[in-house]
Amino acid sequence: MVALLAERPPVAPTKVMASRPKSILGWELVGIPFVVVLGSALHFGFEWSGNWPPMALFAAVNESIWEHLKLAFWPGLLWAAIEQRQLHLEPSAFWAAKGLALLVAPVAIVLIFTTYTAILGENILYLDIGTFVVAVALGQIVSAWALIAGPARQGYRRLGHMLLCGQLVAYSVLTFFPLPFDYFMDARSGILGIPSRME
């Protein structure tokens, strides 16, 4: 019995991809300019498309805080799909980690934006841009940490999957059916949701 136990191969580590942390970190850092550039383009995507309704799913349709959160989420999700395909990470653990990480940038945008506007009493374009870049960078760094450390326990994986599904549903629905709160309202025009629906 002792001999059998001694010959048993070591248990494989349960981390997502602990053997390739440098590769993961590299991909996450490259993802920062990808998300920033694509997210910035999506800020104007709805207008560029001639207010095409399907584009409203991905692009900002007004100047509300909520619409700007989509600009970090959808490009981040697209980069995650590219990353998973290139790095061949285990899907369940990968998407659980992304479910946690993709929440970071939107939360950071809300916290930074509401804090600085409360202090200054107004929003300033270059600070808005800086907020977006910092939030995306934080999201990608947390994503690298989550993928390297890995939500190995089943409970963490369920939580990550639930967060990812919840974000997908929220960003898919709440542009078309916005809630009557300030975060969903264009502060300049008072519009909720898609402008053409309100006219």
Beta bridge partners of 192: 185
What value does the mean pLDDT of the chain take? 86
Tens digits of per-residue pLDDT, 186-197? 877 888 888 754
Token pair recorded at residue 52: 């095409």
| Percent of the chain's residues with pLDDT above 90 | 64
Tens digits of per-residue pLDDT, 98-142? 999 999 999 999 999 999 999 998 889 999 999 999 999 999 999
- Give me the pLDDT at residue 3, please: 46
- Give me the pLDDT at residue 150, please: 65
The answer to whether 84 and 102 are in contact (CB under 8 A) is no
Beta bridge partners of 185: 192
- Give me the pLDDT at residue 67, please: 94
Prediction pTM value:
0.84
Tens digits of per-residue pLDDT, 2-50? 444 444 444 344 444 444 777 899 999 999 999 999 999 999 999 999 9
- Give me the pLDDT at residue 196, please: 58
Give me the count of residues in the chain.
199
Does the CA dihedral 194-53-161-88 come out positive or negative? Answer: negative
Count CB neighbours of 57 within 10 A.
15
